[in-house]
């Protein structure tokens, strides 16, 4: 005869002890757990006054970088526009006029560069697609405005004021 | 001043103060509940309206009055409007017999810090608090909504079931005290702390307490408004101040249930080992008044504490607990109490 020993059935109802059937001790134990939480320090971050710590790798508002001579890195190649899965980026490229020569690295540049912050899904594909390391996503995340138009950011709003070398923090 | 004029003045003042204080406590019970719920969940609770959110009840009141009054198209309008007042009145009438404090003597006149010390106090409370279910079932019926009706029906069957257990638990207490007057019951509990009925009626206290949770429709017995089955229960269709009155009635019920537990089982306004002075001053009155509220606040705290500890019962479990466990236990409690009293020839046997 084969081994008839019944393995312990995980679904078998086990017999409650008297203390469990009386409920009261179990309730007291549970009340003790909740009371310990009552005296615990709240974990809330009081948002507008207190800001949470945001990782520097957070994908938030975009920035168009300048190089160490203050020239726009963007050459208007539209790679980011092509890569953008949400069609949030609109670029009109053009030839650099003579009076702007000192502001650009090549003769092609972005005449207008708009990102619709409501369409953007903050995936960072533009950042990956950019051959000139011109566009980056920053940890800025407070976008609230009172109209949709105000959330279409222009080139002036996106371009940084002072240039410099690019450091990859990670 | 004539005797009748003095009487009217006394009752008007005492009545207004007791009513006002109770409603103030009830208004702040809504804040207290949300604040304490926050603490139990490791958060702050409302803290934007004024310091520590102290103006929150006022903001809520303004909101209730300014929101849109919505009455469903095919609702029974008259009943729909009158239902919240039923719930609120039934809870509010209970204030009349709660002993908020001891008697005081002002200018040789004895004033009781209780609106009416009637000799059927407990009977009155059981009778009036059962009326509250009419508001709930009327509201559920008048809404012309199946979920509201289900909530109302559940509420009525729940209240009827647990009233029996509650009444039987009180009967055992009455056999012991030999009176229905709430003031007399408090007076019987003055003296050393073991005079409190909770020490002489531990089983009765547990039955009464559990029933009080069910009567006030609080978690774990909040079946009438089980939101994951019944949307909002009987007040699904209610909005603005009509909903506010339901809420207010519920919190009044909870406050007075806590006050009643303190009165019946924890000595009410009395302070252990302290006897009333021969010439009770206003200060003594204020002291007993404060003691009553401290005890009441503790039980309100437990109401909220239990809310964040226990899950809701299933409906058959609720009925099973009421009819198969609490009622037999309550009958047993009465028999045991009667047997003890006969054996010892105790109080209340005349």
Dump pLDDT digits (tens) for B233-249: 788 888 888 888 888 88
Distance set, CA A60 to CA A50, A151, B131, B311 (Å): 19, 13, 58, 41
C-alpha B245/C-alpha B132 separation (Å) is 12
Determine, for residues B309 and A31 on separate chains, whether the beta-carbon distance falls below 8 Å: yes
The band of B296, judged by pLDDT with boundaries at 50, 70 and 90, is very high
Q: How far is CA B254 from the centre of its chain?
A: 4
Q: How confident is the model at residue A114 (pLDDT cuts 50, 70, 90)?
A: very high
Q: What is the structure's pLDDT at B349?
A: 45
As a whole number, mean pLDDT of residues B191-219 equals: 87
Instruction: Give me the residue from A27, A31, A43 closest to B42, CB to CB.
Output: A43
Q: Read off the pTM.
A: 0.80
More confident residue, B80 or A11: B80
3-state percent breakdown (helix, strand, coil) of chain B, nearest 5: 70, 0, 25
Q: What is the mean pLDDT of residues A87-91?
A: 93
**Does residue B168 sit within a domain?**
yes
Interatomic CA distance for residues B200 and B265, integer angstroms: 9
Determine, yes or no, domain membership for B9.
no
Does residue B208 sit within a domain?
Answer: yes
The alpha carbon of B129 is separated from its chain's Cα centroid by a whole number of angstroms, namely 8
- Tell me, yes or no, whether B309 lies in a domain: yes
Q: Lowest-confidence range among A14-23, B98-107, B111-120, B253-262?
A: A14-23
Across the interface, whether the CB atoms of B41 and A30 are under 8 A apart is answered no
Give me the residue from B44, B306, B308 closest to A42, CB to CB: B44
Half-sphere exposure of A156 (CA within 13 A, CB side): 0
Per-residue pLDDT at A89: 93
In the predicted structure, residue B310 carries a pLDDT above the cut 70: yes
Residue A154: the pLDDT is 92
By CB atoms closer than 10 A (0-12, 13-18, 19+), residue B235 is buried
User: Residue A110 burial (CB < 10 Å; 0-12/13-18/19+)?
Assistant: buried
Which of chain A's residues have a Cβ under 8 Å away from the Cβ of B42? 37, 40-44
> In 3D, which of B346, B1, B6 has the Cα closest to residue B176?
B346
Residue to test with chain B: of A28, A41, A42, most B Cβ within 10 A: A42
* Dihedral class, residue B290 (left if φ above 0, else alpha if ψ from -120 to 50, else beta): alpha
The backbone torsions φ and ψ at residue B115, rounded to the nearest 5 degrees and listed phi first, read -65, -45
Locate tokens 């912050």: which residue? A117
Across chain A, what does the average pLDDT equal? 86
Q: Look up residue A117 and give its two tokens.
A: 């912050």
Which residue would you say has higher pLDDT here, B200 or B223?
Answer: B200
Residue B12 lies in a domain: no
Least confident range of A1-10, B27-36, B221-230, B339-348: A1-10
* DSSP state letter for A72: B
As a whole number of angstroms, the distance between CA A51 and CA B62 comes to: 31
Residue B298 binned pLDDT confidence (cut-offs 50, 70, 90): very high
Lowest average pLDDT, out of A7-16, B8-17, B279-288, goes to A7-16
Would residue B13 count as lying in a domain?
no
Q: A105: pLDDT confidence band, cut at 50, 70 and 90? A: confident
Which residues are bridge partners to A114 per DSSP?
A90
Residues B207, B166 contacting (CB under 8 angstroms): yes
| B203: contact with A, CB 8 A cutoff | no
Going by their DSSP bridges, the two strands A108-116 and A152-153 should be labelled as antiparallel
- Spatial strand order in the sheet of A152-153: A89-95, A108-116, A152-153
Alpha-carbon torsion A60, A64, A67, A70, what sign?
negative
Digit-coded pLDDT (tens) for A50-77: 888 888 889 999 999 988 888 888 999 9
Confidence band for A3, pLDDT divided at 50, 70 and 90: low
**Structural domain span for residue B81:** 58-344
Q: Is A1's pLDDT higher than 50?
A: no
Interval A126-158: pLDDT, tens: 999 999 889 999 888 888 889 999 999 999 889
What's the Cα-to-Cα distance from A128 to each of A104, A134, B9, B104, B148, rounded to whole Å?
A: 21, 10, 83, 82, 56
DSSP string, B47-84: -SSSGGGTTHHHHHHHHHHHSPP---TTS-HHHHHHHH
Cα–Cα distance, B185 to B189 (Å, whole number): 7
Whether B41 maps to a domain, the answer reads: no
**How many angstroms away from the CA of B225 is the closest CA of chain A?**
23
pLDDT, mean of residues B242-268? 89
d(CA A124, CA A126): 5
The verdict on residue B8 lying in a domain is: no
**Beta bridge mates, A136:** A63
What's the pLDDT score for residue B317? Answer: 86
Respond yes or no on whether ipTM tops 0.90.
no
* B78 and chain A in contact, CB less than 8 A: no
What the block records as the tokens of B39 is 């603490």
**Residues of B208-220 as b/e, b for ≥16 C-beta within 10 angstroms?**
bbbbbbbbbbbbb
Q: How far apart are CA B213 and CA A69, in angstroms?
A: 74
User: What's the maximum distance between 2 C-alpha atoms anywhere in chain A?
Assistant: 100
Span B119-168, pLDDT tens digits: 888 899 888 888 888 888 888 888 888 888 888 888 888 888 888 999 99
Q: B220 to each of B157, B215, B225, B274, B325, how far by Cα in Å?
A: 16, 11, 11, 37, 16
Q: How far apart are CA B86 and CA B55, in angstroms?
A: 28
Q: Average pLDDT of chain B?
A: 86
In tens, the pLDDT along B12-66 reads: 888 898 889 998 999 899 899 999 999 999 998 888 888 888 898 899 889 888 9
Quote the minimal CA–CA distance from A22 to chain B in Å: 11
Preferred mutation among B309, B317, B325 to probe A, highest tally of A CBs within 10 A: B309
Residue B350: the pLDDT is 43
Q: Residues B311-337: what's their mean pLDDT?
A: 89
Number of domains in chain B: 1
Give the SS3 label for residue B278.
coil
């Amino acid at each position: 005869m084969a081994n008839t020993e019944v393995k312990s059935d995980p679904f078998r109802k086990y017999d409650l002890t008297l203390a469990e059937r009386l409920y009261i001790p179990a309730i007291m134990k549970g009340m003790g757990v909740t009371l310990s939480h009552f005296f615990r320090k709240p974990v809330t971050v009081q948002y507008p006054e207190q800001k949470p710590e945001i990782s520097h790798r957070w994908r938030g508002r975009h920035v168009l970088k300048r190089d160490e001579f203050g020239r726009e890195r963007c050459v208007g190649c539209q790679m980011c526009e092509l890569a953008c899965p949400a069609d949030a980026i609109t670029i009109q490229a053009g030839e650099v006029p003579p009076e702007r020569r000192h502001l650009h690295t090549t003769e092609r540049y972005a005449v207008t560069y708009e990102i619709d912050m409501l369409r953007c899904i903050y995936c960072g594909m533009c950042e990956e697609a950019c051959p000139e390391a011109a566009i980056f996503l920053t940890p800025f995340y407070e976008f609230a405005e009172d109209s949709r138009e105000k959330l279409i950011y222009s080139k002036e709003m996106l371009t940084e004021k002072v240039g410099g070398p690019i450091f990859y923090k990670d | 001043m004539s005797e009748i004029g003095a009487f009217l003045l006394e009752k008007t003042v005492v009545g207004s103060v007791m009513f006002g204080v109770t409603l103030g406590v009830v208004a702040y019970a809504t804040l207290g509940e949300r604040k304490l719920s926050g603490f139990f969940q490791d958060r702050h609770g409302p803290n934007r309206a004024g310091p520590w959110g102290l103006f929150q009840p006022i903001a809520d009141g303004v909101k209730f009055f300014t929101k849109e009054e919505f009455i469903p198209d095919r609702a029974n309008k008259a009943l729909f409007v009158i239902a919240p007042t039923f719930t609120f009145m039934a809870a509010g009438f209970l204030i009349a017999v709660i002993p908020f404090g001891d008697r005081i003597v002002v200018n040789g006149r004895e004033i009781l810090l209780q609106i009416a010390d009637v000799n059927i106090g407990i009977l009155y409370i059981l009778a009036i608090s059962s009326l509250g279910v009419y508001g709930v079932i009327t509201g559920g019926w008048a809404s012309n909504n199946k979920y509201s009706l289900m909530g109302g029906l559940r509420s009525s069957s729940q209240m009827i079931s647990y009233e029996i257990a509650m009444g039987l638990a009180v009967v055992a207490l009455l056999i012991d005290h030999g009176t229905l007057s709430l003031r007399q019951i408090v007076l019987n509990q003055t003296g050393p702390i073991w005079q409190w009925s909770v020490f002489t009626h531990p089983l009765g206290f547990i039955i009464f307490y559990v029933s009080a949770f069910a009567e006030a429709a609080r978690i774990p017995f909040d079946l009438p408004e089980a939101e994951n089955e019944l949307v909002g229960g009987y007040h699904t269709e209610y909005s603005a101040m009509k909903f506010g009155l339901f809420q207010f009635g519920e919190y009044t019920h909870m406050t007075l249930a806590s006050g009643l537990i303190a009165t019946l089982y924890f000595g009410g306004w009395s302070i252990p080992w302290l006897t009333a002075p021969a010439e009770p001053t206003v200060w003594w009155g204020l002291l007993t008044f404060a003691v009553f509220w401290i005890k009441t606040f503790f039980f309100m705290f437990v109401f909220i504490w239990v809310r964040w500890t226990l899950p809701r019962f299933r409906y058959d479990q609720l009925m099973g607990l009421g009819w198969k466990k609490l009622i037999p236990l309550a009958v047993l409690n009465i028999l045991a109490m009667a047997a003890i009293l006969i054996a010892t020839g105790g109080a209340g046997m005349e």
